[in-house]
Amino acid sequence: MSASDILDEHTGAFLRLRRLWERRSHFSLVLAMVDNPDYRDMLIARLDTVLPGARIDLTSADPPAAWLRQGEAQCAQGLRRLHVCLPLDARHDDLWWQQANVVRERLADAMPTLQVVWLSQADVDTAAHQAPDLWNWREAVLDFTVPVVQPARIAALTERLAEISDFLDRQDRQPDHDRRPSAHLLLEAARVHRQLGHWEQSRRAAQRAASLFAAHGDTEHAAAARAEETEAIHPGRTDDAAG
């Protein structure tokens, strides 16, 4: 996964998180569920290119007081946005969240800023039950967990790409044929490649589709293909292509 890959199903959540990151200047608690530390770090890096933020990493041995102490030290330096990274490989127990619930007012008073807490789904579930007052202070719970693509689904998509490739090869051997069916299939191939994480193949297929649609005067599908190409290059920025 490259540094630019935000999964399609996370685009809306990330745009909401980015708006909060840009606009909040007071205490605000956002819980961001994530299960892949590399993916989390990429999302954090993307936010920090918008506006810089501080980061604290808590281990499974750190009590909530460490969150308070480290966060307060960062805010003392004038930083107004904070990433709080909890360990993703093991959830905190009930007592940890009960203690976090007790110190919630100190967390808000000492750090009157946006706090994005990156945590596992298991920790979200525990927080909801064991830290009800802190939970009620949340502004948003955003899901950045990565779904597992089932092997059967991968096989079906791969088979479809092979069918499209065979059709395009046959069409290329026929002179003066109508290329609109090829354009539609190339656009489909671009979307399938994207689902499989084949970003460069997706970009090339979308680029070819856009050229064919434009040659036939089909501006609507040409725009859709250009948006798909943009999505392959910069996930989450399809609005730029439509504008």
pLDDT at residue 196 above 90? no
Strands 114-119 and 138-143: unpaired
Per-residue model confidence (pLDDT) at position 237: 46
Q: Which residues contact 116 (CB under 8 A, 6 or more apart)?
A: 17, 21, 30, 32, 47, 53, 81, 82, 83, 84
pLDDT band at 239 (very low <50, low <70, confident <90, very high): very low
**What is the rounded average pLDDT of the residues 144-159?**
80
Count of CB atoms situated within 10 Å of the CB of 49:
7
Q: Which two tokens stand for residue 242?
A: 């439509």
* pTM for the structure as a whole: 0.62
The whole-angstrom separation of Cα 243 and Cα 200 is: 23
List C-alpha distances in Å: 242 to 37, 228, 238: 32, 10, 7
Hey, what domains does the chain have and what are their CATH numbers?
A: 8-143 (3.40.50.300), 151-242 (no CATH)
β-bridge partners, 115:
29, 82
At 87-122, the pLDDT tens digits run 998 789 999 999 999 999 999 998 899 999 999 999
